[in-house]
Amino acid sequence: MSDWLISIEGTELGRHVAMSLALLAAFSHAVFGALQKGRYDPWLTRAAIDVNYSVMAAPFALFVVPWPEPHMWPIFAGMVVIHIGYKWFQAMAYDRGAYTVVYPVVRGTGPLVTVIAAGFVFSESYSSAQWIGVLALSGGIFGLAAFNLTRVNIDAPRLRAALGLALLTGLFVALYTTYDAYGIRATANPFTFLAWFFFLDGLTFPVLGVLRYRALVNPPALGGLMKRGFIGGLIAYISFGSVMMATRLDKVGEAAVLRETSTVFAAVIGWLVLKETVGWVRGLLMATIALGAVIVEFGG
């Protein structure tokens, strides 16, 4: 599998596979985000997810994939630090604001900054039409956040804190997307990076989760929490693994933009599964997001 994937890097087939992987990441990330902002404390949920996907990745990292090259260890160290920052600020944002507001702000900031960063780091260039697509997608996502904002009741100081943390989290999304793309391209076998990414990334946040759990007056039962963590760990492999592989096969910026159609998938899931009302405003914003992604993918 790894030899085949390496052979299609930079080809037209690789472009199509990358597009499919990015869309798969978008759908799974919508599910992943809803899991973290659910019935449990977001810090505990994230810790449960991390410990599960670290344990699942350990045998593959240690015994299956080729051992990382020496130059990869500093890259892995930087990756761990960046992802701690991302998860820390995301949990803080979810603590303070409604998921329907925080999630779109995070996801709207990420692709815009990633496309700019990819231009500097990977010398990627985009046509005028593609830039219009990026602005349409990000604008639609921010519009969705603004519309949802009118439907929540949060005091002003808490709301400002939530939005500020959401923007900061979005910057970390762009940072880890760009950095992880660099990392997965720096090793000969992409599955080496993926296995060690999940193994190492899942080792740190559970420590914070244990401290948080002990500090709670009424901590939740571990059985349900770990069940959610196991499901979230499986989804994380699809969500994060797919987009990282997509960034190796094709442009980093395009993969980042397609992944952020997760906001559309989240709304559709809410409509079909949770029987939530979409309405014409949300429908129009979702169409704008989808149109922006199509323009970016085919406007080059």
Cβ-contact 140, 286 below 8 angstroms: yes
The domain containing residue 173 runs over which residues?
A: 2-298
Rg (CA), the chain: 19
Q: What is the pLDDT along the chain (300 residues), one digit of tens a residue?
A: 778 888 899 899 999 999 999 999 998 987 776 665 557 787 888 899 999 999 999 999 999 999 999 999 999 999 999 999 999 998 888 888 777 788 888 888 888 899 999 999 999 999 999 999 999 999 998 998 888 888 777 777 788 888 899 999 999 999 999 999 999 999 999 999 999 999 999 999 899 889 989 988 888 888 988 998 999 899 999 999 999 999 999 999 999 999 888 888 877 776 776 566 667 888 898 889 989 998 998 887
Measured CA to CA, the distance from residue 33 to residue 137 in angstroms comes to 19
Dihedral sign, Cα of residue 227, residue 192, residue 210, residue 34: negative
Backbone torsion region of residue 53, taken as left when φ is above 0, otherwise alpha when ψ lies between -120 and 50, otherwise beta: alpha
Q: What is the pTM of this model?
A: 0.90
CB neighbours of 216 closer than 8 A, spacing ≥ 6?
41
CA distance 72 to 193: 9
Our count of domains for the chain comes to 1
The answer to whether 98 and 254 have CB atoms below 8 angstroms apart is no
Please report, for residues 11, 19, 179, 255, 282, the alpha-carbon distance to residue 6 in angstroms, rounded to integers and kept in the order given. Answer: 10, 16, 19, 17, 40
- Residue type present at position 3: D
Residue 60 in contact with residue 192, Cβ under 8 Å?
no
Distance CA 102, CA 98 (A): 6
Buried b (16+ CB within 10 A) or exposed e, 80-111: bebbebbbbbbbbbbbbbbbbbbbbbbbbbbb
